[in-house]
Amino acid sequence: MNPFAPAQIQNPNYYSTAFQYDGKSAETRNLKPGEVSTGTTIMAIPFANGVVLGADSRVSTGTYVANRVSDKVAQLHDHIWCCRSGSAADTQALTDYVRHYLSQLAIETGRVPTVKCAAHLMRRLCYENKDNLMAGVIVGGWDPVEKGSVYNIPLGGTCLKMPFAIGGSGSTYIYGLVDAEFREGMGEEEAKSLVKKAISHAMARDGSSGGIIRTVVVKETGNEREYIPGNELPYGP
């Protein structure tokens, strides 16, 4: 037998880890059949005294919209929130775990947990279970140390502190827009309107994003939740 001949693939269940040109998007490729996906556009921008987080509201199973008014902005602690994208089941479970660990941590240390800590907890879970999870998360919030901060945790479990973060399948359509319009040191109103504008544009072009825009403004004084109905979006048909 020639030791240099290519290996014979006998097992029909062998799956290749090489890139497969099958027309599926990266977001939905690894979903199991029938699994629910938060297709999504999510975004977070920090400003002087806090953070604005925003998300669309569409949850899909294949081509059917399972929930057109879902809430993808979840609260992890008093002033720490996260935006969820990827598999709905995985991100809901992750959010529950991090919420639990954060509340334990707050009791044990007697301090308000930092956004960095929440992001790192999330990243630990995402990274160490990367084979079984499909979750892209943006963690943002206010803490006394860093004031407003935003951490992006894409698929695979990288954790990056960023001046602004966008994620989800619809984010690919708005990289140009956000790069052009974002400035360091924006105020609250400017950041909010950029979030709403960018997500509207993504919803207009991405099939997996749609519905309404939900936003949360997180400041030292508290959290303000808002939503914009689908017929009042800043941009759209």
Binding site for other proteins (CB under 8 A): 32, 34-36, 59, 61, 64, 66-67, 69-70, 87-89, 92-93, 132
Selecting among 17, 28, 38, 40, the annotated active-site residue is: 40
Smallest separation (angstroms) from other proteins to the CB of 35: 5
Give CA–CA dist 80/141, Å, rounded. 4
Smallest separation (angstroms) from other proteins to the CB of 96: 8
Using the minimum distance from each CB to other proteins, give the nearer residue, 60 or 152.
60
What letter represents residue 169's amino acid?
A: S
Helices of type H across the chain: 26-29, 88-109, 115-128, 175-181, 188-205
CA 221 and chain centroid, separation: 24
In the residue annotation, 109 being an active-site residue is answered as no
Smallest separation (angstroms) from other proteins to the CB of 82: 16
Query: Residue 223: CB partners within 8 Å, gap ≥ 6?
Result: 75, 79, 81, 216, 217
Measured CA angle at 190 (ends 186, 193), to 5 deg: 140
Using the minimum distance from each CB to other proteins, give the nearer residue, 87 or 169.
87
Give CA–CA dist 75/56, Å, rounded. 16
Using the minimum distance from each CB to other proteins, give the nearer residue, 10 or 132.
132
Instruction: Give the residue numbers marked as catalytic.
Output: 40
